[in-house]
């Protein structure tokens, strides 16, 4: 290979692999080494079956060699071991050599990031449509509810029969219960009071409150990055949002389990459409059963609950509070590990926060 070709291949963002007829690695470029976290020196000459590619993919590649026709697979999930997974668009092209042998050129472009952005857009849109719907509905219900309660009180005064008063009591207390629910649905009406805060203030407060509620058999541990710079946000709103996530985790693990509160920073990270130099991420991780399939699609919609006594408001409220602070909540779940991630922009000047979606 000449120097120029080498330079091009080594600087490409796409992973490029060349395999021989027995699916042994002949060449891998730098992007490929990065993706698989291997060194070309060690891997060239080795079979990729069971090492880089799983059985199924290796079989598909053999098929390409046998048939001589190219193969493309979109959004293929590669399991890279150590819980590392990437989603790629993969193309395999059989190359006929002069000596009659065939080689296979495999190109892989990582698409995780793109998928993430599409999914986030969904989350953001969902949450603003939700907010409008919920607010409209709650307002419509609150007014007649006030009238109903007032009328029941007047009626109660006129009644002299104690037995009949029981009925007005029921009306009043149920109206109060509905009123409280509507207030929760309307969420915080006040605009956020932002100031420079340390994100750990919020996490620690939540940890203290929740640890008092947890059974001794549930462990609540912390894994903080103490160097996270201060960020411009509303402390009470962060506390409320995190509280909802941690309570969900506590309900998911039940009597026995492990909840971890983790904080980290991310560099050059996009939230919605805004690229931020630095983002704080707070993860609430639990080892409960995971989010069921029925719940997944509509997790952030109000009134969607998997618990008999749940109101299904915890997550939509948390999402809208974090959105109000320029951030976003993402999640990932499988049985035994559910992770809710709060992403919040950290900006050098407070004004930059306001521009975020
Ligand atoms: N960490 C988690 N593990 C498993 N399922 C979860 C987790 N967090 C949320 N869920 C599921 O998502 C549903 C919705 O959560 P959300 O907090 O919005 O409402 P809720 O907890 O049911 O009620 P509320 O928070 O209003 O009391 C839950 O009922 C539960 O089924
Ligand atoms: Mg909840």
Round the average pLDDT of the chain to a whole number and report it. Answer: 87
Looking at the chain, list the stretches that DSSP marks H as alpha helix, in order from N- to C-terminal side: 3-11, 30-36, 40-43, 55-67, 112-158, 162-186, 199-213, 235-253, 293-296, 314-324, 351-355
Q: Is residue 203 within 8 Å of residue 224, measured between CB atoms?
A: yes
- The closest residue, in CA terms, to atom 17 on ligand 1 is 314
Question: DSSP readout, 316-336?
Answer: HHHHHHHHHTT-EEEEEEETT
Q: Is ligand 1 within 6 A of the CB of residue 285?
A: no
Spans of all domains in the chain: 3-110, 112-186, 191-357
Q: Is residue 245 within 8 Å of residue 185, measured between CB atoms?
A: no
Q: Is ligand 1 within 6 A of the CB of residue 249?
A: yes
Measure 185 CA to ligand 1 centroid, in angstroms. 15
Rg (CA), the chain: 27
Residues in the chain: 357
Q: Is the pTM of this model over 0.75?
A: no
- The closest residue, in CA terms, to atom 7 on ligand 1 is 248
pLDDT of residue 82: 62
Q: Is ligand 1 within 6 A of the CB of residue 312?
A: yes
What does the alpha-carbon distance between residue 329 and residue 324 come to, in Å, rounded to a whole number? Answer: 12
Q: Which atom of ligand 1 is nearest to the CA of 302?
A: 18
Which ligand is located closest to the Cα atom of residue 307?
1
**What fold characterizes domain 3-110?**
Beta-Lactamase (3.30.450)
| Beta-carbon neighbours within 5 Å of ion ligand 2 | 248, 314
pLDDT in tens, 90-138: 999 999 888 888 999 999 998 876 666 666 677 777 777 777 777 788 8
Measure 112 CA to ligand 1 centroid, in angstroms. 26
Asked if domains 3-110 and 191-357 share a fold, the reply is no
pLDDT of residue 114: 65
Mean pLDDT by 10 residues, the chain (357 residues): 84 91 93 86 88 87 91 85 76 90 92 69 72 78 89 93 91 88 70 90 94 94 96 92 96 96 92 86 97 88 85 87 91 95 81 44
Q: Is residue 53 within 8 Å of residue 80, measured between CB atoms?
A: no
Q: Is ligand 1 within 6 A of the CB of residue 246?
A: no
Q: Is residue 307 within 8 Å of residue 215, measured between CB atoms?
A: no
- C-alpha closest to that of 179 among 150, 153, 143, 135: 143
- The closest residue, in CA terms, to atom 19 on ligand 1 is 312
Q: Is ligand 1 within 6 A of the CB of residue 314?
A: yes
Measure 246 CA to ligand 2 centroid, in angstroms. 8
Q: Which atom of ligand 1 is nearest to the CA of 340?
A: 1
Q: Is residue 62 within 8 Å of residue 94, measured between CB atoms?
A: no
- Residue 343, strand partner residues: 281, 328
pLDDT of residue 348: 56
Q: Is ligand 1 within 6 A of the CB of residue 181?
A: no
Q: Is ligand 1 within 6 A of the CB of residue 353?
A: no
Q: Which atom of ligand 1 is nearest to the CA of 312?
A: 19
On whether the 191-357 domain is CATH 3.40.50.970, my answer is no
- The closest residue, in CA terms, to atom 31 on ligand 1 is 306
Task: Please say whether the dihedral angle defined by the alpha carbons of residues 180, 181, 186 and 187, taken in this order, is positive or negative.
Answer: positive
């Amino acid at each position: 290979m000449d120097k120029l070709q080498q330079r091009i291949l080594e600087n490409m963002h796409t992973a490029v692999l060349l395999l021989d007829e027995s699916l042994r690695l002949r060449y891998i470029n730098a992007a490929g080494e990065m993706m698989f976290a291997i060194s070309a020196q060690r891997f060239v000459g080795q079979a990729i079956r069971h090492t880089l590619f799983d059985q199924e993919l290796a079989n598909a590649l053999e098929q390409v060699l046998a048939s001589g026709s190219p193969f493309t697979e979109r959004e293929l999930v590669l399991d890279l071991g150590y819980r590392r997974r990437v989603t790629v668009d993969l193309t395999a092209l059989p190359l006929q050599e002069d000596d009659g042998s065939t080689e296979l050129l495999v190109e892989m472009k990582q698409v995780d990031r793109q998928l993430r952005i599409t999914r986030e857009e969904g989350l953001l849109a969902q949450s603003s449509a939700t907010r409008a719907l919920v607010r409209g509905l709650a307002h419509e219900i609150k007014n007649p509810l006030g009238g109903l309660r007032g009328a029941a009180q007047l009626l109660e005064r006129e009644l002299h029969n104690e037995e009949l008063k029981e009925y007005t009591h029921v009306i009043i207390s149920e109206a109060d219960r509905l009123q409280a629910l509507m207030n929760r649905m309307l969420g915080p009406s006040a605009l956020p009071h932002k100031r420079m805060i340390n994100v750990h203030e919020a996490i620690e407060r939540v940890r203290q409150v929740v640890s008092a509620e947890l059974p001794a058999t549930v462990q609540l541990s912390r894994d903080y990055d103490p160097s996270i710079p201060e960020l411009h946000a509303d402390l009470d709103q962060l506390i409320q949002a995190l509280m909802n996530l941690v309570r969900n985790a506590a309900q998911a693990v039940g009597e026995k389990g492990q909840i971890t509160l983790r904080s980290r920073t991310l560099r050059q990270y996009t939230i919605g459409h805004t690229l931020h130099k630095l983002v704080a991420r707070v993860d609430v991780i639990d080892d409960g059963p995971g989010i069921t399939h029925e719940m997944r699609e509509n997790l952030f919609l109000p009134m969607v609950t998997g618990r008999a006594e749940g109101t299904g408001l915890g997550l939509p409220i948390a999402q809208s509070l974090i959105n109000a602070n320029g951030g976003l909540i993402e999640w990932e779940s499988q049985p035994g590990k559910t992770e809710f991630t709060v992403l919040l922009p950290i900006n050098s000047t407070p004004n930059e926060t306001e521009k975020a979606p």
